[in-house]
Structure 1
Amino acid sequence: MARLPIFGHWTTNYDRLIETSLKNVGKIVDVKYNTKHLANTIHGRNAILYKMHGDVENPDEAIISKDQYEKYFHTHGAYINTLSGDLVSKTFLFIGFSFTDPNLDYILSRIRVTYENNQRKHYCFIREVKNETNDTDEDFELKKIKQELIINDLLRFNIHVLLIQEYSEITEILKEIENRFKRKTIYISGSANEYGKWSTAMAEDFISTLSQELTKNDFKIVSGFGLGVGSSVISGVLKEIYINRKENIKNQLLLRPFPQGGAEIQKQWNDYRKDMISYSGISIFIFGNKVDNGKLVSANGVESEFEISKEQNSLLIPIGATGYKSRELWQKVLNNYEVYFGSSENIELFKELGNEKLEPNELIKLTLQFINKIIKK
């Protein structure tokens, strides 16, 4: 959940699990557990956590007794207004929430009366009732009827229930949401001291046009500024953003040049690659060569990025027709296509990515076609 692009979080828990998770993925969290915090803003925040009932390290301010619940509207009126605003303007996903909090029930009722058929759509997870060992048939039937009534009641507030069999399914659902979100971001891996049968101008135009077309298709691009590749990636994205779309480049390009230095810096490159690739759900590999001790060799850095992408469950697309390390990786994927893509569907398209007779523009169209096919799948 912390890795998803969610800015606002609400909880009635006192523990610090949510803010710890958000910080662990590098987010700057603005935690608010009393009304005074609502007037303050942490600079550079990219996540906000409202702790409606207080914080474990500040028990004197915690909402825990029935008397405190009853007085909540008077003592925490600003929280009520803030939550009401979010429920009106944002989509909520309720996780592990029983809907027995009287304050939330009152807020939802007011919103329903005010907005009637124009309420924001929300979702929640509820585990389907089970027929326990000691249950009679009547007990189980009663539990099912009670759950059905709860589900129908939540629909009054436009809260749609997602029934699950086990709580572990929530993790799997969130992982799938994360995968789908990340697959709108593509990492382009590659380096090139030379381009083989392609002229420098042809190769640079291929990389630039590929990046431009990916941007045109609403993909965000991540690049590590590889030798002979990075500058062309940037030019392609810039061309689409500034000439055709006129939007902020931050929305479409994440550029992470590798830190330069001695052996100590290079030891950190693996962690740096992991962080960089973690933003994407698709990795494209092109070319992949470098000069080592005066000899042209395959780029081991491109292979490292392939393995990291695989570990992070990214879709792997080596464009074998560009040669060098990318061709080796293309052959590796082709030999085990069903392992990498789950079935043999679209394998013929993938084979064509290794066709060295294709013109650069044909290769770009084929790459986009393949990406769109596997994303829809």
Structure 2
Amino acid sequence: MAASAKRRLLREFPSALIDDAGCVFIGAGVSMGAGYPSWATLLREIGDELGVRSTDVHDLSALAQWSIQESGGATRVRSVIKEQIGVDHPVPSVLETIARLPTRHIWTTNYDRLIERAFASIRRPLDVVSAASDLALRITPGATRLYKMHGSIDRLDDVVISTDDYELFRKRRGAFLPLLQAHLTSMSMLFVGLSLTDPNIRHVLSLMRESFTEAPPEHFAIVRPPQREDFDTEAEHAARLAQHKLWAKDLRRYGLVAVEIDSYDEVPDLLQEIEREVAAHRVWVSGSWPLDDAGTEAARSYETASRIGREIAKLGRTLVSGSGFLVGPASIAGFLDQMREAGTWDVERRLIARPFPQPFGKGKADKDQWTSLRQELSRLSGVVVFVGGQKPGGVADGVLEEAKLAENAGCFLLPVGATGGAAAQISAGLLGSTLVAKGANAIRPTDQELAALSEPTASPKELARIVSEILKRVGPIKG
């Protein structure tokens, strides 16, 4: 069951992300993994002051409510939150990966700024919505929206923590609910850091149940069953494990598929697998040819790249391009022609371009910037098709660098050797190599396929057909 749930996650959620229909919900477990306290730890001092152990209280929001009642205000509770949550812990790799995923919507009940800092580190725009009034603000073009539905450390006077806050949520922060319910209706949501004991999560689940009494849409939750080392006694572990199993089954009522892991250390790897599956939908056509060479070889490379662009569009994949001389524009032109002919209107979603700044006159190329762009293109792509790769006076060393970076990133290398230049050199290096050529972990064509793609008499149409067949074989997880 665990393997089946994981496979469903890796098949369906990346597809939802590619279709702009995937969103993420960040729970308390992610913040705890970064060094922030659990709810019970956060309110330990509050409980001690009241003569109650926070670990013995099932409803921790009630503990905050009792403190407010006893002290006559929320100042003490807010001071504890500021002291414990206001510090900056290192951003975990889980959030670094999430910040790179193509999602436009992230929900969280956490107060900290880990998500904001993860996005800032890669200079990706993020609109933070931490109060109901923020929902009326115009969205920044291209930005992901972060819905901090229970408030933020930046606005302590507006956080949800006490029983009153939960009971009056609809009155004070009710504008969040229709949007959350709309996302739960129309999107696939991945819950990361879901906790059985988190009162915030119980609130969200109740909203899901309220929205769908029957046949709820399917979402995913990465959860860790209680482990023996978490408890002092075998009996305590057995009791909590039984409780967890019942809870995991109960999640189905909310449309949640529980993807169980043995350790939180597995979460970064699982999210990186999701990122790789997203990349598997993307095909980078790499290559170049001098514009002042208008001979038959240049024409052959142009037509081949154009036809490959068409095949990528037919397969429903995303085209990635660095817009190199001749080859890049050719693949884009073929890709767009096929999409127009097919009546496809999602060009902005399925074309990723990172043009290389070109020096003119006496200017010199910024090699470091080019390498950085090549690394980004390698990370974004699952397959790299090499066409041509020639510069005035010889083989384009930049295309060779792209091949090396793509190999390091785990991309599938697909050189069309018949187009000459770097593609021919890359093909020769792969032929007979020890790199895996078959199965789920293949990162190169078989020797037979490499030979067919290097056949001098093969037409651009035939070369594009072979590339298409290989792309079908090494595509995203199916079935």
Give yes or no for TM over 0.5: yes
Displacement after TM superposition at 1:79 (Å): 2.3
Displacement after TM superposition at 1:230 (Å): 2.7
Change (3 A) 1:18 1:367: same
Give me the whole-angstrom Cα distance separating, in 1, the residues matched to 2:435 and 2:358: 38
The reply on whether 1:300 has 2:400 as its aligned counterpart is no
Q: CA contact under 8 A between 1:80 and 1:107: conserved in structure 2?
A: no
Pairs within 5 Å for 1:1-377: 1-102=98-199, 105-106=202-203, 108-109=205-206, 111-113=208-210, 115-132=212-229, 136-193=233-290, 198-261=296-359, 262-263=363-364, 265-291=366-392, 296-338=393-435, 342=441, 346-375=446-475
The alignment partner of 1:245 has SS state of coil
The alignment partner of 1:156 has SS state of helix
178-187 vs 112-121, greater mean Cα deviation:
112-121
RMSD of aligned alpha carbons: 2.8
Displacement after TM superposition at 1:268 (Å): 2.3
Deviations 1:118-137 (A, max 9, x none): 31212111112222397555
Give me the whole-angstrom Cα distance separating, in 2, the residues matched to 1:328 and 1:200: 17
Q: Which amino acid aligns with 1:353?
A: L
Deviations 1:271-291 (A, max 9, x none): 233334443221111111111
Displacement after TM superposition at 1:48 (Å): 0.6
The alignment partner of 2:213 has SS state of helix
The alignment partner of 1:92 has SS state of strand
Partner of residue 17, structure 2: none
Give me the whole-angstrom Cα distance separating, in 2, the residues matched to 1:40 and 1:124: 30
Give me the whole-angstrom Cα distance separating, in 2, the residues matched to 1:97 and 1:321: 52
Q: CA contact under 8 A between 1:35 and 1:78: conserved in structure 2?
A: yes
Displacement after TM superposition at 1:18 (Å): 0.9
Q: CA contact under 8 A between 1:337 and 1:347: conserved in structure 2?
A: no
Q: Which amino acid aligns with 1:259?
A: P
Change (3 A) 1:240 1:106: same
Q: CA contact under 8 A between 1:53 and 1:63: conserved in structure 2?
A: yes
The alignment partner of 1:257 has SS state of coil
Deviations 1:65-124 (A, max 9, x none): 444334333322222333233223322211112154556535544543553223121211
Give me the whole-angstrom Cα distance separating, in 2, the residues matched to 1:345 and 1:226: 24
Q: CA contact under 8 A between 2:385 and 2:414: conserved in structure 1?
A: yes
Change (3 A) 1:375 1:195: farther
Q: Which amino acid aligns with 1:148?
A: K
The alignment partner of 2:340 has SS state of helix
344-353 vs 30-39, greater mean Cα deviation:
344-353
Partner of residue 36, structure 2: none
Count of residues paired in the alignment = 373
Q: CA contact under 8 A between 1:127 and 1:164: conserved in structure 2?
A: yes
Q: CA contact under 8 A between 1:333 and 1:340: conserved in structure 2?
A: no
Give me the whole-angstrom Cα distance separating, in 2, the residues matched to 1:253 and 1:92: 24
Change (3 A) 1:369 1:199: same
Change (3 A) 1:281 1:74: same
Q: Which amino acid aligns with 1:81?
A: P
246-255 vs 344-353, greater mean Cα deviation:
344-353
Q: CA contact under 8 A between 2:128 and 2:148: conserved in structure 1?
A: yes
Instruction: Detail structure 1 runs of 4+ shifted over 6 Å in the superposition.
Output: 194-197
Displacement after TM superposition at 1:148 (Å): 1.0
TM-score scaled by length of structure 1: 0.88
Partner of residue 55, structure 2: none
Give me the whole-angstrom Cα distance separating, in 1, the residues matched to 2:424 and 2:195: 54
312-321 vs 256-265, greater mean Cα deviation:
256-265
Deviations 1:306-329 (A, max 9, x none): 122223332211122222211111
Q: Which amino acid aligns with 1:214?
A: I
Q: Which amino acid aligns with 1:230?
A: G
The alignment partner of 1:173 has SS state of helix
Change (3 A) 1:178 1:195: farther
Change (3 A) 1:125 1:176: same
Please, which runs of 5 or more residues in structure 2 have no aligned partner?
1-97
Deviations 1:246-297 (A, max 9, x none): 4243233334432223226454222233334443221111111111xxxx21
166-175 vs 344-353, greater mean Cα deviation:
344-353
Change (3 A) 1:345 1:229: closer
Higher relative contact order (CA 8 A, sep 6+): 2
30-39 vs 245-254, greater mean Cα deviation:
245-254
Give me the whole-angstrom Cα distance separating, in 1, the residues matched to 2:198 and 2:164: 13
Identity percentage over the alignment? 29
Displacement after TM superposition at 1:49 (Å): 0.5
Displacement after TM superposition at 1:54 (Å): 1.9
Give me the whole-angstrom Cα distance separating, in 1, the residues matched to 2:332 and 2:142: 27
TM-score scaled by length of structure 2: 0.70
The alignment partner of 1:271 has SS state of helix
Q: CA contact under 8 A between 2:194 and 2:201: conserved in structure 1?
A: no
164-173 vs 82-91, greater mean Cα deviation:
82-91
